[in-house]
Amino acid sequence: MSIIRIKTVKDEITGKEHDEFLEFLAPVTIENPEITAEFISEVIEHFEISDENLMVLEKDPENEEAIALIFRAFHTIKGTTSFLGITPLYELAHKAEKLLDEVRKKRLSFEGIVADATFNAFDLIKNMIKDLEKALLAGKKFVPGPKLTAVLAQLKRAMAGGQTPDSKKDERSL
């Protein structure tokens, strides 16, 4: 099952935001192919659980069980990618995990930019895992896609209440 979002992340981000996250676009050598392959096969279960629970949150944004399960998926992906040295995926999962932690602690509500950023982070993680698998099978470096900086910036804005460093753009107009 895959979640389909009508909104997409803006390809445009401020120069300051792009520069802040530019380092995460560098190609990554896959240092441990065996464990990376195992991680890729196991992460699919997290995708299925998260897909189901993101749909629950769309209808019931305060569902604590759904929030906890999605948080756990981001947490697991963050931990494993940190161990494997796959920094772009680690950063994305880490920032998404932090955002969901704020929702768990009821400091943020799962609506608006928070919901959009969570869905976009999850969708990008799924795409990055596919790209990681392709790189692994081809024996090449993993190269993160260009949308990474936009999603990282969106997660940062969501944590800050939706404000960009240069303006007060409305994330709902993605």
Give domain status of residue 171, yes or no. no
The total of structural domains in the chain comes to 1
Range of the domain at 41: 29-162
pLDDT of 80: 96
CB 13 within 8 A of CB 149: yes
Q: Averaged over 143-157, what is the pLDDT?
A: 93
Q: Confidence band (pLDDT; 50, 70, 90) for 16? A: low
Work out the angle between the directed axes of helices 147-159 and 112-138 (0-180°, nearest 10): 150
Give domain status of residue 121, yes or no. yes
Helix, strand, or coil (residue 53): helix
Tell me the pLDDT tens digit for each residue of 58-106. 999 999 999 999 999 999 999 999 999 999 999 999 999 999 999 999 9
Q: Which CATH number do you get for residue 132?
A: 1.20.120.160
Rounded CA-CA distance 28/135 in Å is 10
